């Protein structure tokens, strides 16, 4: 993989990780169009996901610090510990799917552009449904956390947007817009970090260090990090202004294009 290809894939990852258009789907389409496969796909995936996780932590640093401070409060039960419990509940479905269906999931990420196209159209329909939601100010809650977590688990499929699925599900459940966006981005941090840790443990580090070129990884990381910062900030504003319908149209068009490419 050349530095230019790593730059393009890093930009795609950074932008689409937070925008409701499916990062995994766009990465697969990008690889198909460029005709490229990273020399170590697992390591490249870990690097760019680390970049987007870091950008999320920076954007939500105040929220994260507040939750950490509340953890050390003398009061046994408080808002911070309750919110962390919501996040833990939301993680369970994705963790179970990742543990028990790892091989089946990985088999879907093998230039399966047709599947990506069909899932992008489903993402478009889900995003479009949010236009019919009346303005509500509901909380996250335990039940909503579980349902949003199921949406995140389904979004493991390439072409289903994680942010789109979780935010749209939260809105459909009546969660207030800003709360929905905030929860969607905070809940993914431990999932990404956990998946990265597992991938690193499964990785043959000696082979990775000797056979993988360093510069494409560095370029991919920087590209994903910078664009991730911009996309995360932009997405928060878009959710507040209820403009997800534009991405519904985009996902539908790209989904149709992907299906055409597949054939």
Block residue for tokens 């009346």: 134
SS3 state of residue 62: helix
Task: Give the gyration radius of the chain's Cα atoms.
Answer: 18
Domain regions of the chain by residue span: 3-262
Block residue for tokens 């970049």: 51
pTM, two decimals, is 0.82
Mean pLDDT by 10 residues, the chain (263 residues): 86 85 76 70 77 90 86 79 92 86 71 83 91 77 94 87 90 89 88 76 56 78 92 84 83 90 78
As a whole number of Å, the end-to-end CA separation of the chain is 26
pLDDT at 23: 77
Angle of helix 3-18 relative to helix 214-240, nearest 10 degrees?
20
Block residue for tokens 């043959």: 204
CA distance 232 to 191: 17
The first and second tokens of residue 215, run together, are 């510069």
pLDDT at 16: 84
What lies within 8 Å, CB to CB, of 91 at 6+ separation is 149, 187, 190, 191, 194
Q: How many Cα atoms sit within 13 Å of 88 on the Cβ side?
A: 6
pLDDT at 93: 92
Question: Which ranges constitute the DSSP H helices of the chain?
Answer: 3-18, 23-34, 41-59, 61-71, 79-100, 102-108, 113-129, 142-154, 162-172, 177-202, 205-211, 214-240, 244-262
**Burial (CB count within 10 angstroms: exposed 0-12, middle 13-18, buried 19+), residue 107:** exposed
């Amino acid at each position: 993989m050349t530095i230019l290809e790593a730059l393009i894939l890093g930009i795609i990852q950074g932008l689409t990780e937070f925008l409701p258009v499916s990062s995994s789907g766009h990465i697969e389409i990008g690889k198909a169009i460029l005709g490229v496969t990273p020399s170590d796909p697992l390591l490249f995936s870990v690097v760019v996901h680390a970049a987007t996780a870091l950008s999320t932590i920076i954007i939500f640093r105040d929220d994260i610090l507040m939750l950490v401070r509340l953890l050390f409060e003398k009061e046994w039960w408080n808002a911070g510990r309750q919110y962390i419990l919501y996040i833990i509940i939301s993680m369970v479905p994705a963790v179970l799917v990742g543990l028990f269906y790892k091989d089946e999931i990985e088999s879907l990420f093998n230039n399966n552009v047709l599947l990506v196209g069909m899932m992008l159209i489903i993402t478009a329909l889900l995003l479009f449904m949010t236009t019919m939601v009346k303005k509500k100010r509901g909380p996250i809650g335990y039940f909503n956390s579980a349902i949003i977590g199921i949406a995140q688990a389904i979004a493991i499929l390439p072409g289903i947007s994680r942010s789109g699925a979780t935010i749209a599900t939260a809105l459909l459940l009546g969660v207030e817009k800003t709360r929905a966006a905030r929860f969607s981005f905070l809940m993914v941090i431990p999932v990404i970090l956990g998946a990265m840790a597992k991938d690193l443990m499964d990785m043959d580090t000696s082979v990775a260090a000797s056979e993988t070129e360093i510069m494409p990884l560095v370029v991919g990381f920087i590209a994903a990090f910078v664009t991730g910062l911009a996309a995360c900030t932009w997405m928060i504003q878009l959710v507040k202004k209820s403009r997800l319908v534009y991405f519904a149209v985009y996902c539908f068009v790209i989904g149709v294009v992907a299906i055409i490419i597949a054939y």
